[in-house]
Amino acid sequence: MRAAFGWVLRGSLLGGLAFVIFGPLANLVLWAVAIQWYYPHKLPLTWGFKYWGEVFKPTGDSIAALGTSVLIACITVVVCLLLAVPAGCALGRKRLPGRPLILLILLLPQAFPNLPVYFNIARQFYMVGLNGTIAGVVLVHAAHGLVIAVCIAAAAFAAIDPELELAARNIGASAGRTVLTVTLPLAMPGVTASAIFVFLESLDEFTGTYFVGVPDVTTLPLVMFTASLAGNYQIAAITALVLLVPSIGFMLLIERFLKAETLAKIG
Amino acid sequence: MSDRRSAQLLLVAPALAMVLALFVYPLELSLVSAFTTKDGEPSFDNFTKALELYGTDIVFTFVIVTVSTLLIGLFAAAIGGYLVLGAHPVAVSVLKNLYRWPLFIPFIVAAQCMRTFLAKNGIMNNTLATIGLVDVGSVSGLLDWRGIIVTFVWKQTPFVALLVSGAMAALDRATVEAAANLGASGMRILIEILLPQVAGVMLVGLILAFVTMLSVLSVPIMISGGSPTMITVDMAFRVNSYSDYGVANALGFVSYAIAGLGAWVYLRRSVASDGAP
């Protein structure tokens, strides 16, 4: 009797949680396949993929924005890794002079709200002609992603056993060859995790692009935002679903890439 | 040896330069702009105007972010505790696969989900009406400050819960088992044994969540269009509609100040423990 009561309690709590987690997502999916839906009807009146054709029209704004988003995210990953891998390598080894101060400066963007910083960057970019350019948006995304990328890379390099590198040097490998054939391959899982993270952050980024990119650079989150505020819920829902795919995919795979402790550095 | 040290510094220099140029420098500009007039005279005018126009919003922002953080902490502790202490493997595994879904969902997508879910005619009201708890005709939905809190908690709880449950799983089980043998209830073990040991990790997770929420623009705009709203919306409005960087930066200073105590604790702990929380 008590056991049965326990299962009823657990079942209803987990059921409630499932409703809270999936309810909002289900509402999004409903809007993505609705053609007509208004109050007081609880479900869409007409269903179909009419708006999908509109969103995925090869000449449409959304496809162009998706292209821009992916382009920006790819360049951001390259820029971030070029900066983060050497920095992570140096920070991962404890010999760096002034390490606490450097760490403090690198962590600052995590500790303070970024929004006021973005519109001040936009103001500076405006003066040097970077506002409304892909380069400007990439710089803002890279600065934001850098903190995470450096932290993950530093953790990856710190976990490498220095004896392995010493062994390579002892049997005659040069310093450069040791880095390329021993250190970097060992740090690769961490570097890959940084890359995926920076890519996702850039793809999903809204606030920085809103101040620095508008009106010339339109990314998918901006298309979604504009559609939502204009009341085009179908368009907003479909573009939101496109943004959801990589996010959910990474959530399902996260434990293959990172331990929970490493995640702590991500925020 | 000193050559190798300067080589190490050279490796960090580009990343450091990036953060200095694109975070520290604009942060400094923002502080200077908050405390000067348009002609460059030092003054508190921006703050007087910001308080006069957006005083209510400042209070709202503080309340929304604080209440959200407390709820996130509460849910994260409950989820982490059940994952570690739960006696039923099936229920534990269901919870483990359930709670993480919003983890990487962008704020803007979460906002769009909630904009429809919490609306008068959204799935929430319609479901509650179907099981007879509310009458859709007479309720209005949650698209106001409450909706902002719901969205923040929905989006940010998985992150803190992931950290907390990871830290709890790494603890020594001996004390937990000893307490259980002495007859302590699960709730008591959670509050008196597990939570005190993961308090540091929990604190860092909550601070990061708190600071992030203070900086989100899409959620307040999309969930609650009307007044009162959060100061992120007011900052965007001052900049876009009036190019009034003075008042916007004064509001920015307010948000730094709200984040300040948490930021100090976070930076101290992170630097002391070498980048780990």
Segment B159-189, tens digit of pLDDT: 999 999 989 988 888 888 898 889 888 889 9
Chain B residues 204-263 with CB within 8 Å of chain A: 204-205, 207-209, 211-212, 214-218, 221-222, 232, 235-236, 239, 245, 248-249, 251-253, 255-256, 259, 262-263
Count how many pairs of residues, chain A against chain B, have C-beta atoms within 8 Å: 291
Q: Does the pLDDT at position B226 exceed 80?
A: no
What is the predicted pLDDT for the residue at B55? 95
pLDDT per residue as tens digits for the range B133-152: 877 777 777 888 999 999 99
DSSP alpha helix (H) spans, B182-244: 186-189, 195-214, 218-223, 231-242
Within a domain: B9: no
Among residues B82, B102, B214, the alpha carbon closest in space to that of B158 is found at: B102
pLDDT by residue (tens digit) across A201-254? 999 999 999 999 988 999 999 999 999 999 899 999 999 999 999 888 888 877
Q: Would you say residue B36 lies in a domain?
A: no
pLDDT for position A70: 95
Question: Are A103 and A31 members of one domain?
Answer: no
Enumerate the residues of chain B whose CB falls inside 8 A of the CB of residue A140: 22
The pair of structure tokens assigned to A255 is 């434990």
CB contact under 8 A, B212 and A267: yes
Residue A81: inside a domain, yes or no?
A: yes
Considering the domain boundaries, does residue B177 fall inside one? yes
Whether residue A189 has pLDDT greater than 90: no
Angstrom distance (rounded) from CA A93 to CA B247? 44
Provide, rounded to the nearest whole percent, the portion of chain B with pLDDT above 70.
97
Does residue B25 lie within any of the structural domains? no
Interface of A with B in 43-72 (CB under 8 A): none
Indicate the pTM of the whole model.
Answer: 0.92
The region of weakest confidence among A35-39, B117-121, B236-240 is A35-39
Q: For residue A145, which residues of chain B lie inside 8 Å, CB to CB? A: none
CA distance B42 to chain A (A): 19
Q: Which residue has the tokens 């409630």?
A: A16
Return the pLDDT at A210. 95
Residues A66 and A41 in one domain: no
Q: What is the predicted pLDDT for the residue at B1?
A: 47
Q: Residue B271's closest chain A neighbor by CA?
A: A100
The per-residue pLDDT for B277 is: 44
State residue B207's pLDDT score. Answer: 94
With CB atoms and an 8 Å threshold, state whether A206 touches B215.
Answer: no
CA distance to A10, B26, B194, per residue, from B163 (Å): 23, 31, 13
pLDDT (tens digit per residue) in B193-217: 999 999 999 999 999 999 999 999 9
- Residue A23 in contact with partner chain B when CB distance is under 8 A: yes
Which among A93, A96, A260 has CB closest to B163?
Answer: A260
Range of the domain at A27: 2-47
Tell me the C-alpha distance between B237 and A243, whole Å: 26
Shortest CA gap A18–chain B (Å): 7
List the single residue in B88, B111, B236 with the smallest CB-CB distance to A10.
B88
A212 lies in a domain? yes
pLDDT band at B7 (very low <50, low <70, confident <90, very high): confident
Same domain assignment for residues A115 and A205: yes
* A165 in any annotated domain: yes
Looking at the structure, do residues A146 and A21 belong to the same domain, yes or no?
A: no
- Domain with residue B191: its CATH number is 1.10.3720.10
Tell me which DSSP letter residue A39 carries: T
Residue B60 has pLDDT above 50, yes or no: yes
One domain, residues A104 and A36: no
Same-domain pairing of A181 and A207 = yes
Q: How far is A139 from chain B (nearest CA, A)?
A: 8
Q: Are A37 and A70 part of one and the same domain? A: no
**Residue A54 in domain:** no
Is residue A111 located within the same domain as residue A139?
yes
What is each CA distance from A245 to A241, B104, B275, in whole angstroms? 6, 10, 31
Contact B136 A40 (CB under 8 A): yes
Taking the C-alpha atoms of residue B119 and residue B112, their distance in angstroms, rounded to an integer, is 11
Percent of chain B at pLDDT > 90 equals 65
pLDDT on residue A266: 46
| Domain extent for B237 | 46-272
> Is B24 part of a structural domain of the chain?
no
End-to-end CA distance of chain A: 44
Residue B172: per-residue pLDDT: 86
- The pLDDT tens digits of the residues spanning A158-188 come to 888 888 888 988 898 888 888 888 888 888 8
Mean pLDDT for the stretch of residues B233-254: 95
pLDDT confidence of residue B274: 64
pLDDT level of residue B2 (50, 70, 90 thresholds): low
Residues A23 and A77 reside in one and the same domain: no
Distance CA B267, CA B277 (A): 9
Q: What pLDDT was estimated at residue A214?
A: 83
A198 and A89 within one domain: yes
pLDDT (average), residues B67-88:
94
What ipTM, to 2 d.p.?
Answer: 0.89
Contact (Cβ atoms closer than 8 angstroms) between residue A31 and residue B121: no
pLDDT of residue B236: 95
Contacts (Cβ under 8 Å, ≥6 apart) of B151: B107, B110, B111, B114, B219, B223
In a domain, A126, yes or no: yes
pLDDT at A259: 57
Q: Lowest-pLDDT range, A29-43, B11-25, B57-71? A: A29-43
How much is the mean pLDDT over chain B?
Answer: 90
The per-residue pLDDT for range A64-120, each reduced to its tens digit, is 999 999 999 999 999 999 999 999 988 887 678 888 899 899 999 989 999 999 999
Give the per-residue pLDDT at B210. 95
Among B101, B167, B222, select the one facing A228 at the smallest CB separation. Answer: B222
Cα of B152 to nearest chain A Cα, Å: 13
CA-CA-CA-CA torsion for A250, A255, A260, A264, nearest 10 degrees?
-20
pLDDT of residue A255: 66
Predicted pLDDT at A142: 95
In a domain, B27, yes or no: no
CB-CB neighbors (< 8 A) of B9 in chain A: 90, 96-98
Q: Tell me, yes or no, whether A53 lies in a domain.
A: no
- Domain match, A172 and A201 both: yes
Question: What residues are paired with A47 via a beta bridge?
Answer: A34
Report the domain count for chain B. Answer: 1
Q: In the prediction, which pLDDT does A1 show? A: 67
* B33 occurs within a structural domain: no
Total number of domains constituting chain A: 2
CA distance linking residue B251 with residue B80, whole number of Å: 36
**Is there a single domain that holds both residue A168 and residue A218?**
yes
